[in-house]
Amino acid sequence: MSHCALDTPLRIHWYLCPGHDPLPLSDLRSIARRCTEAGVYHLLLDGTPLAISGIDGILSILHQGGCRLSLMTRGTPPELDALAGIAEHSPQLWLDADGLVAPASTDLSSLDPALNHLRAAGFEAGISLPLFRDRLTLLGPLLLWAGARRAGSFKLPNIPLDARVCGPHERALCGPGDLDRLRDLLGPDALQAASGLRLQIHDLFLWELLGRPGSRHAEYGGCQGANALAYIDARGQVHACSSWPGVLGTLPDASLQGIWSGEGRRKLLGLIASRPQECEGCAAYARCRGGCRGLAVHFCSQDAKDLWCSGPR
Ligand code: SF4
C-alpha cells in the first residue's frame, strides 16, 4: 500500500487516448511513477486507455505502487485483448456510453454487444455518461437499460474539458433551463431504475434529481478540485480537476508533490473557498458552495454560480 506524500488523499482522472496522446510510452510510465511516489490512492484512466500500446506496464507500475484502478472502455475486441493481460490488477471497469452512442441519439444497440463481450471475458462494468446537452434525451433510456441489465454502478462524471469540449467537435454544456428539461424527460420508470443503481455523481444538482436527496450532504462539501481531485491531460499537464482548464504543472518533468505544494494550487484553493457574488444570500451555500467552480470560472467568471443553477435558493 502506498504512503500518501500529499496533504490530502488524492483521486486522479488521467486522460489516455492514442488519438490525442502526443507523449511517448516512456513518459507515460514516468507519470505513473510520479503518481505512486506521491501516494495517489485512486486513478481513473479515461479515454481509451486499453488501446495504448504498453498499457500493461503502466498499470503494473500503478498497481504495484498501491493505486486502485478504474478504466474506461468501449469493450472492443482489441481492448478485451489488452484487458486479459491486466486482470491481475483488478481494475474497476466503466463502459463509455458517450463513446458508444452517437451524439443526440438514443439508439442503444451498440451497448449490448460491448457489455456482453466484457461479461463473456469475465468482467463486470458500470456505465458512464458525461452529461453534455446533447445527452439529455439519452439519460432516461440509458438508466432503464442499465437497470434492466443489472449494471450495478452508474456514473455521471464531471464534464471533461478535453478534446470533447475544447477540440474541433465541441459539445454544448448544460445550463439552468436544462435541469427542468431533464426533470421532464426522466419519467418515473427512469427514476425508479436510478434508485436501483449505485450512483456516482459529484454534481449536487444531478444528485438531487437522481439520487437520494439528503443522503450525502455531509460529504459533498462543494467543489473538490485541487483538494481531493486532480486531472492529468493527454500532454501530462496537471489540473485541479477534469472541469478546470488552468494548468498547475506538467508531469513527468516535475514531481506531483512539487506541483501539489506549489503557488498555483494554493491560489486555486483560495479562489474555490471564496463565495461567488451570484451565490450571495443563497440558503444552500453551506453544502453547495457555488457548485462546479471550474466550469463557472472558465465559461463565465469567478463570481458566477454553477452552470446548472437557476438559484439562489
Ligand atoms: S446560488 Fe446556486 S450555485 Fe450558488 S450556492 Fe446557491 S444553489 Fe449553489
- What spacing in Å lies between the alpha carbon of 133 and ligand 1's midpoint? 20
241 confidence band (pLDDT: 50, 70, 90):
very high
Q: What's the pLDDT band for 214 if we cut at 50, 70, 90?
A: low
- What are the grid coordinates assigned to 187, written together? 419519467
Of 83-92, 236-245, 300-309, least confident by mean pLDDT is: 83-92
152 versus 270: which is more confidently predicted? 270
Query: What does the alpha-carbon distance between residue 173 and residue 166 come to, in Å, rounded to a whole number?
Result: 11
Convert the pLDDT of each residue in 96-136 to its tens digit.
999 999 988 999 999 999 999 999 988 999 999 999 999 99
Predicted pLDDT at 245: 85
Answer yes or no: is the C-beta of 222 below 6 A from any ligand 1 atom: no
Choice from 223, 279, 280, 303 to test ligand 1 binding pocket (greatest atom count within 8 A of CB): 279
- Centroid of ligand 1 to alpha carbon of 190 (angstroms): 26
- Nearest CA residue ID for atom 3, ligand 1: 290
pLDDT-derived band of residue 8, with 50, 70 and 90 as boundaries? confident
Which atom, in ligand 1's list, is nearest to the CA of 282?
6
Q: How far is the CA of 313 from the centre of ligand 1 (A)?
A: 7
- Give the angle 205-303-306 at the CA atoms, nearest 5°: 10
pLDDT tens figures, 155-184: 999 988 875 555 555 678 899 899 999 999
pTM, full prediction: 0.92
Reported confidence tier of residue 218, pLDDT bands at 50, 70, 90 = very low
Q: What's the 290 CA to ligand 1 centre distance in angstroms?
A: 5
Instruction: Dump pLDDT digits (tens) for 40-89.
Output: 999 999 999 999 989 999 999 999 999 999 999 999 888 988 988 888 88
DSSP per-residue string spanning 66-125:
T-EEEEEE---HHHHHHHHTTGGG--EEEEEHHHHS-TT----TTHHHHHHHHHHTT--E
From ligand 1's centre to the CA of 204, what distance in Å? 10
Contact between residue 197 and residue 151 where contact means Cβ atoms under 8 Å apart = yes
As a whole number, the mean pLDDT across the chain is: 90
Ligand 1 close to Cβ of residue 211 (< 6 A): no
The fraction of the chain above a pLDDT of 90, given in percent, is 71
